[in-house]
Structure 1
Amino acid sequence: MSTDESDPESGSADGSPVPGETVQHGTGVTSNRAFPTSHYAAHLDPFVLFERFYIDPDQGFPMHPHKGFEIVSYLLDGGMAHEDSLGVSHTAYEGDAMRITTGGGIRHSEFPADGAACNGLQLWVNLPREDKEIDADYTDASADELPTREAEGATVTIVVGDGSPIDLRTEMEYLDAVVDDAWTWSVPEGWSGFLYGVEGDGTVAGEPFGEGDVLPVTEARDVAVATDSRLRVVAVAGRPHGEPIQQRGPFVF
């Protein structure tokens, strides 16, 4: 996925949800971006950006380059066909995940599969400086391979983390939580991350929260998620590299 150039330096105050922002990509694809946006103008070390993409049947991302970070794509609806310069050709469907390590450089394309629209989530994770030029790599996991566990007040799928076949060069976790009552997300000491609203409505940290909202978290804390009906969120946290994130379109230096 290609993005506009950005080099954010500051964000909003940590602790309150902010709305995502609509981004129109040059290929005609529309995304709801969690960060960086005008509402939260910073990267969230080690995370470069996060957005929900919506690709119509006649749109997509033709072959384009990336380098200097890792990509996690997680499909919510429909299918997305991926091809890359490593020779990989794979279609991910609802609940499937793909990880690309762009390293010193890779080219790939992303198009909706089967003549139907698709939507999903894409996360960019910075590579530490010593890994910027490593060989590109790719892996994927089907929905059945991602562990799903019952927690108090929620059903949680582990996209990245304990038991998932998807791993990165950054210590992190990526949870897909369907909350039907009250659930607590705990951010480890020294980590930063965010909550993003996928579907439904409720409250996060006692404040209204729904689809497209994001709660940036830069300090260890327990985050209370509650709903009277159903609220689906993704919770992502990782250990910062403590290095500047310099994004220039599809490259992170």
Structure 2
Amino acid sequence: MTRDEAEESRGEPLSGQRVQHGTGVNSNRAFPTNEYQANLDPFVLFERFYIDPDKGFPMHAHKGFEIVSYMIEGGMDHEDSLGVEHTAYENDAMRITTGSGIQHSEFPADGAACNGLQLWVNLPREDKEADPDYVDASAEELPTTAVDGATVTTVIGDGSPIDLHTEMEYLDVHVDDTWTWTLPDSWSGFLYGVTGSGTVDGDGFEEGNVLPVTDTREVVVENDNDGPFRLVAVSGLPHEEPIRQQGPFVF
């Protein structure tokens, strides 16, 4: 690949797409969207959901992938067919392995609206029929470290009590100055803006923007204003297998 081809492959930040679910829940979807129509192997989809007090997701089925939910504001009540009942609040995380099949519901807690981030991660072919499973972690259990230019919480990765069938990393990053994100060799990933604005490789980047990255490189993130700039950086080792999604099922 030439230098010009490498520069072209980096792409520019894209805007997320508004999606309304059948239950009346609104989301800002990073992918797949009209602007980025593909999945991002090993990731099936990613979105920020906004649930009003009178809305939510009644009991419904999933299979064939794993779900990571990470709360931004408010609380969300989770209940599933494994008998789990749990409420996740700000900066808490939950992971569901849907595997051979699970049912769950999600509703805002305490009569108040909530919002958070949800990631679907494909299961490798040999794990599609894995037993369904659930685990959660409180904000206090997720390691947070001050690094050059940012404060980084590891939602998935070194030190986190949550793991998946897929090798991956999920970072919640509060950028104060300049922070550099490096993808491991052969991994794919994306940045998603949560709060505030700044630049990514010199391009403007704000809440609801996404930057898919499919080449091994460093991405320079800068907070060029006096306000907060928060984003998540998610990356993983591709399975190099087709992602066949039909609604809540991934085959």
Normalising TM by the smaller chain, what interval?
A: over 0.9
- The corresponding residue for 1:134 is 130
Gaps of 5+ in 1: 1-11
Q: Deviations over 1:64-112 (max 9, x none)?
A: 0000000000000000000000000000000100000000000000000
| Pick aligned residue for 2:238 from 237, 240, 244 | 240
Q: Deviations over 1:96-135 (max 9, x none)?
A: 0000000000000000000000000000000000000010
- The corresponding residue for 1:7 is none
- The corresponding residue for 2:191 is 195
| Pick aligned residue for 1:204 from 177, 197, 200 | 200
State the aligned residue count.
242
- The corresponding residue for 1:154 is 150
Taking the aligned partners of 1:80 and 1:168, their CA distance within structure 2 comes to 21
Match of 2:140, SS state, is helix
- The corresponding residue for 2:111 is 115
* CA deviation after TM superposition for structure 1 residue 13, in Å: 5.7
- The corresponding residue for 2:163 is 167
- The corresponding residue for 1:8 is none
In the alignment, does 2:48 pair up with 1:58? Answer: no
Gaps of 5+ in 2: 1-7
Taking the aligned partners of 1:133 and 1:63, their CA distance within structure 2 comes to 21
| Pick aligned residue for 2:229 from 231, 245, 250 | 231
- The corresponding residue for 1:4 is none
Taking the aligned partners of 2:106 and 2:167, their CA distance within structure 1 comes to 26
What fraction of aligned residue pairs are identical, expressed as a percent?
74
Taking the aligned partners of 1:188 and 1:196, their CA distance within structure 2 comes to 18
- The corresponding residue for 2:38 is 42
* CA deviation after TM superposition for structure 1 residue 15, in Å: 2.3
Match of 2:38, SS state, is coil
Task: Supply the AA of the counterpart residue of 1:251.
Answer: F
In the alignment, does 2:73 pair up with 1:93? Answer: no
Taking the aligned partners of 1:242 and 1:128, their CA distance within structure 2 comes to 9
Match of 2:215, SS state, is coil
* CA deviation after TM superposition for structure 1 residue 227, in Å: 1.1
Task: Supply the AA of the counterpart residue of 2:239.
Answer: H
| Pick aligned residue for 2:27 from 12, 28, 31 | 31
**TM-score using structure 1 length:** 0.94
Match of 1:190, SS state, is coil
Taking the aligned partners of 1:86 and 1:137, their CA distance within structure 2 comes to 8
Task: Supply the AA of the counterpart residue of 1:44.
Answer: L
After TM superposition, the runs of 4+ consecutive aligned structure 1 residues lying more than 3 A away are none
- The corresponding residue for 1:9 is none
**TM-score using structure 2 length:** 0.95
In the alignment, does 2:219 pair up with 1:220? Answer: no
- The corresponding residue for 1:82 is 78
